[in-house]
Amino acid sequence: MKLTEILKKYFSKDQILSNVDVAPYLTSKVSKIVNCIVKIKTIQDWKKLAEFIKTEKLIPGIIGGGSNMVVIKAEHPFYLLNQYRDKKVVSEDKTYVYIKVSSGYNMNALVNETLQLGLSGIEYHLGLPGTVGGAVVMNSKWTKPLAYVGDVVESAEILDLDGNFKTVSADYFNFSYDYSFLQTTKEFLVSVVLKLKKSKKDLVAQRAKSALEYRKQTQPFGVFTAGCFFQNISEELKEKLNLPTTSAGYLIDQCGLKGFSIGDFVVSDKHANFIINRGKGSYQDLEKIIEIIKHKVKHKFGVDLKLEVKLD
Ligand SMILES: Cc1cc2nc3c(=O)[nH]c(=O)nc-3n(C[C@H](O)[C@H](O)[C@H](O)COP(=O)(O)OP(=O)(O)OC[C@H]3O[C@@H](n4cnc5c(N)ncnc54)[C@H](O)[C@@H]3O)c2cc1C
């Protein structure tokens, strides 16, 4: 039986897109035709997915806001588009408010809502594109000052690859720089409970505003990109090589690559770690420009740059 026909046994027709380009769902707008996309909008859809996985033994890939991934090989039989948006306060004490939020919730909307409530914990992520799910799985960060999304995770609900739901605590994620354990297990994040500190509204608003201003000064805006393509290097490597910074953008810039282009992809003049798609960039050209950047940085500094963006 064709995959679309199998999917129709679990999901409604209007949730399933067949033979479809992923470009509209990725901030880089890089085109790739995939078999199917299934839109997940409710907790019932997650339950249907669990049933599907148990019975059909097929594991899809997942796209959140598509702001840190590019689909290149499309090895998954199909993709989920996570549009599950739900949020509620589950408990509070004198110091903290615990908010359960679905993984498809827009991260920037959540930050704005917590600012309105004078809650501290994710204020530095104002302007972070994508979903809460992507932010937790990628352990997205702000560096001035250093703040990870994983810092405020209390617990989470996960769907594993056998189709079972489980509740895990923050420890399960093994959070570190650009990493959570879900990147290894490939399990799905369904929802998360965040622990946010009661604070002064003006204080959190000021922190958020200064982070957003810095973001606007240093990052290209209104362009097609998947953000920083490469991870920064470690403090140890920086010391060993006697470099002034851990920034991957600095290394790329020092190789004279700002403005360098392959096809429709160009290294941003504003921030050399951002590769911008001028419109019709193909995934083949993206692979080429990534290889050239890695090669030049290796040649000049002896550093093997690691990708931050997930190539799926
Ligand atoms: C302009 C711009 C600025 C950015 N600024 C920052 C920044 O300041 N700091 C930073 O750290 N990053 C930054 N990023 C990168 C990106 O926005 C973040 O990593 C973001 O949190 C990713 O969320 P997303 O929903 O878009 O994830 P996606 O790109 O959709 O997914 C990323 C990965 O997580 C997986 N995934 C997504 N949702 C789930 C889920 N529910 N369950 C399991 N796996 C899942 C995907 O399969 C993929 O492998 C920026 C990107 C852009 C374009």
Split at pLDDT 50, 70, 90, the class of 144 is confident
Backbone CA torsion sign across 298, 292, 27, 223: positive
Q: Can you give the C-alpha Rg of the chain in angstroms?
A: 20
Give the distance (Å) from ligand 1 centre to CA of residue 218: 19
Q: Given ligand 1 and candidates 26, 29, 67, which is best to mutate, with the most ligand atoms within 8 Å of its CB?
A: 67
Residue tagged 């199917």 (tokens) = 36
Mean pLDDT of 148-163: 98
User: Does CATH place domain 220-311 in 3.90.78.10?
Assistant: yes
For the chain, domain boundaries: 3-82, 87-216, 220-311
Question: What is the rounded average pLDDT of the residues 234-242?
Answer: 93
70 has pLDDT over 90: yes
What's the CA-to-centroid distance between 310 and ligand 1, angstroms?
9
Residue 1, pLDDT > 80, answer no
68 alpha carbon – ligand 1 mean position (Å): 4
Q: What is the pLDDT of residue 294?
A: 97
Is it the case that residue 140 has pLDDT exceeding 90?
A: yes
pLDDT at 221: 85
Do residues 150 and 181 touch, judged by C-beta distance below 8 A?
no
Give the DSSP H or E segment for 70: strand 69-70
**Mean pLDDT, the chain, as a whole number?**
96
CATH of domain 87-216: 3.30.465.10
Mean pLDDT, residues 116-129: 96
Q: 259 pLDDT exceeds 80?
A: yes
Q: How far is the CA of 69 from the centre of ligand 1 (A)?
A: 7
**Residues within 6 Å of ligand 1 by CB:** 27, 61-69, 82, 103, 128-131, 133-135, 137-138, 140-142, 182, 188-189, 219, 225-227, 310
- What does residue 8 show for φ and ψ, rounded to 5 degrees? -65, -20
pLDDT over 90 at 12, yes or no: yes
The predicted-structure confidence for 165-175, as pLDDT tens digits, reads as follows 999 999 999 99
pLDDT at 292: 97
**CA angle, corner 26, sides to 20 and 31, nearest 5?**
50
- 243 to each of 98, 142, 236, 240, 261, how far by Cα in Å? 41, 21, 10, 8, 26
- Given ligand 1 and candidates 102, 128, 219, which is best to mutate, with the most ligand atoms within 8 Å of its CB? 128
User: At a CB cut-off of 8 Å and minimum separation 6, what does 15 contact?
Assistant: 38, 39, 40, 41, 45
Over 90: is that where the pLDDT of 234 sits?
yes
pLDDT above 90: percentage of residues in the chain = 96
How far away, in angstroms, is 243 Cα from ligand 1 center?
28
Distance CA(117)–CA(167), nearest Å, equals 27
Scored b (16 or more CB within 10 A) or e, 107-116 reads: bbebbeebbe
Spacing, Cα 240 to ligand 1 middle (Å): 30
Q: What is the pLDDT of residues 273-298, one digit of tens each?
A: 999 999 999 999 999 999 999 999 99
The ligand 1 atom nearest the CA atom of 125: 8
pLDDT tens for residues 27-60?
999 999 999 999 999 999 999 999 999 999 999 9
Average pLDDT over residues 217-232: 92
What stretch of H or E contains 190? Answer: strand 188-198
Q: Which CATH class is domain 3-82?
A: alpha beta
- Average pLDDT over every residue of 212-220: 90
The pLDDT of residue 143 is 87
**Domains 87-216 and 220-311 in one fold:** no
Residue 235 exposed, middle or buried by CB count within 10 Å (0-12, 13-18, 19+): exposed
Structure token pair of residue 99: 């908010």
Average pLDDT over residues 249-275: 95
- Residue 190 CA: nearest ligand 1 atom is 41
The residue whose CB lies within 8 Å of the most ligand 1 atoms, and thus the one to mutate among 28, 107, 138, is: 138
Residue 119 in this model has a pLDDT that exceeds 80: yes
Centroid of ligand 1 to alpha carbon of 5 (angstroms): 31
Which of ligand 1's atoms lies nearest the C-alpha of 131?
25
Find the 67 Cα to ligand 1 centroid distance in Å.
5
Query: If you ran DSSP here, which 8-state letter would residue 187 be given?
Result: P
102, 84 in Cβ contact below 8 A? yes
- What's the pLDDT band for 218 if we cut at 50, 70, 90? confident
**Predicted local confidence at residue 219, as pLDDT:** 86
Structure confidence at residue 36 (pLDDT): 96
- Ligand 1 atom nearest to 129, measured from its CA: 17
Q: Which residues contact 27 (CB under 8 A, 6 or more apart)?
A: 65, 66, 67, 129, 130, 224, 225, 226, 227
